[in-house]
Copies of this chain bind each other. A is one copy, B any other.
Amino acid sequence: MVAGVERMVKQTKSSGETELTCAVAGQVTAAATQVAARERRDSEVIRAGVAAGRIVIPANRHHVGLVPMGIGRELSVKINANLGTSALAGDLSQELAKLETAVAYGADTVMDLSTGPDAARVRQAIIAQSRVPVGTVPIYDAAGRVEDTRDLTAELLLEVIAEQAAQGVDYMTVHAGLLRRHIPLARRRLLGIVSRGGAILAQWMESHRCENPLYERFDDLLAICREHDVTLSLGDGLRPGCLADASDEAQFAELDALGALVRRCRQAGVQAMVEGPGHIPLDQIAMNMERERETCDDAPFYILGPVVTDCAPGYDHITSGIGAALGAMHGAAMLCYVTPKEHLGLPNARDVRDGVIAYRIAAHAADIAKGIPGARDRDDAISRARREFDWEGQFALALDPAKARELRQEALAESRGAAPAAAPADAQAPATAAAPVKAGSDEHYCTMCGPKFCSMRVFRNLDGDRKD
């Protein structure tokens, strides 16, 4: 790009043009321009990153109303929230409410993992309503159309993928790197295969004595993705489901296969990212991030957690938030949230809120650690508000203003003799406390310490006289 000369912005993609093909052709797309503005980077940096495959911009040509975002190690860390009905739980209005909750609290993408009979209708509605990229796992939809998942065919899988691509799905998880030769490695594990798509495909392969149909028909899959600009998220069907299975031969054998698929995607002009574990002990996280980067030529790593201990069901937003923060600091580009319901059931709106906030914390902490420009501005601003006892300012700058206000209000009420208040459990209900008190009171101390023991108050008055 010649200095001083504005590159023409390519406004629309035709069929067969993807963010990748445009970037390789030296074109800056409208999406790349928007990503550059959001990331406070030069659009040429974004174009070059997309061209190299280090950045993806999931932006299906048919997703009307999408606000494009970029995913890559050099950008701010992104988070995804999973939504979707199962055959046993969930309905459309609940899922749309969860979408609103997730995006309101800061989800950068959502995945619709619906497996119920309504999957297509739910997906259509979510795409229509969502301004953030929508991802899916097409094998769920396909599996819903057969009596027994061993009756799946390559044709059905490709048909579903084509339908979803035409609907406007921005990225799709396909477990195309789980190969037949990997299955014996998984049999040695404590928990075998915990990926739903992975387990279905493994059973299919064993039943038919055939290779993974998504692998066998990968070129056909690429043709569909190229047509609509669907980003492939190469799924880790062999992600470890417990610490005992972490970083094992099965996991890394599949990762090698995913690396080869990344190269095929790029050659075909299809954007690709790679999905990662799972359950990984804290001391193996940095190594896992480095290994993906080397094996997959720096394709954006999209990690699930990782959960760093198996024994805290009910708190897996925390166990995995710890792993996610560390993973992101070491280069993971997007974090798939885990909610408190993980291992227990389908999340409700409160769980979605708890999961999204935990992951915003992890992503933000990593952005600061990585030195993403401006990442610490919000922290410095809230710290200044603390110094000034500006409670309203603190609430406004908090990642979850309602929660901060609610807890402050609760503490004030309790300090005035009210019984400890039950916290509202509904993520969408405005917070109310047992006693009506002014949460944003400008009193220059909090109930944690009281005025005499308020370090901020004492420090402000370090040189003052005794009439303070």
Tell me whether chain A's interface is mostly helix, strand or loop, or mixed.
helix
Question: Which A residues are closer than 8 A to B by beta carbons?
Answer: 86-89, 115, 140, 143, 148-150, 183, 186-187, 190-196, 198-200, 202-203, 206, 241-244, 281-283, 308-315, 317-319, 321-322, 325-326, 329, 340-346, 348-351, 357-358, 360-362, 364-366, 368-370, 376, 378-384, 386-387, 394-395, 397-400, 403-404, 406-408, 410-412, 414-415, 420-426, 446-450, 452-456, 458-463, 466
Least Cβ distance of A328 to chain B in Å?
9
Count copies of this chain in the complex. Answer: 2
Contacts of A369 in B (CB 8 A): 281-283, 308
Which residues of the other chain, B, contact A313 by a CB distance below 8 angstroms? 382, 394-395, 398, 403-404, 407
Question: Given the complex of chains A and B, what is the CA–CA distance between A308 and B363 in angstroms?
Answer: 11
Provide the bound-state CA to CA distance between A19 and B447, in Å: 38
B368 near A308: Cβ-Cβ < 8 Å:
yes
Evaluate contact between B243 and A345: CB separation under 8 angstroms.
Answer: no
B-chain residues with CB within 8 Å of residue A346 when the two chains form the complex: 411, 414-415, 447-448
Shortest CB-to-CB span from A272 to chain B, Å, is 24
Residues of B within 8 A of A398 (CB): 311-314
- Sample of 13 A–B contacts (CB below 8 Å): A86-B453, A89-B415, A193-B459, A196-B449, A203-B458, A206-B462, A244-B380, A313-B382, A343-B448, A345-B447, A346-B414, A346-B447, A348-B420
Docked-complex contact B325 and A379, CB < 8 angstroms: no
Q: How many angstroms between the C-alpha atoms of A420 and B403 in the bound complex?
A: 19
Q: How far is B244's CA from A352's CA once the two chains are assembled, in angstroms?
A: 31
Is A88 within 8 A of B450, CB to CB?
yes
Contacts of A397 in B (CB 8 A): 311
> Taking the nearest CB of chain B, how far is it from the CB of A386, in angstroms?
7
Given A309-B364, A350-B420, A420-B350: A194 touches B343 (CB 8 Å cut-off): no
The 10 nearest A-B residue pairs measured at CB: A345-B411, A422-B425, A314-B403, A242-B383, A283-B369, A89-B415, A199-B455, A282-B369, A310-B379, A199-B458
Give CA–CA (A87, B310) in the complex, Å: 41
Residues from chain B with a CB closer than 8 A to the CB of A364 are 309, 311-312
Determine the residue in chain B with the shortest Cβ distance to A86. Answer: B450
Interface centre among A150, A308, A394 (most CB of B within 10 A): A308
A189 to B376 alpha-carbon distance, docked (Å)? 16
Determine whether the beta carbon of B242 is less than 8 Å from that of A406. Answer: no
Q: A203 contacts B462, CB within 8 Å? A: yes
Q: Is the beta-carbon distance between B86 and A343 smaller than 8 angstroms? A: no
> Which residues of chain B are near A463, meaning CB under 8 Å?
206
State whether B453 touches A345 (Cβ < 8 A): no
Contacts of A340 in B (CB 8 A): 407
Residues of B within 8 A of A384 (CB): 190
Complex Cα distance A249/B420, Å? 41
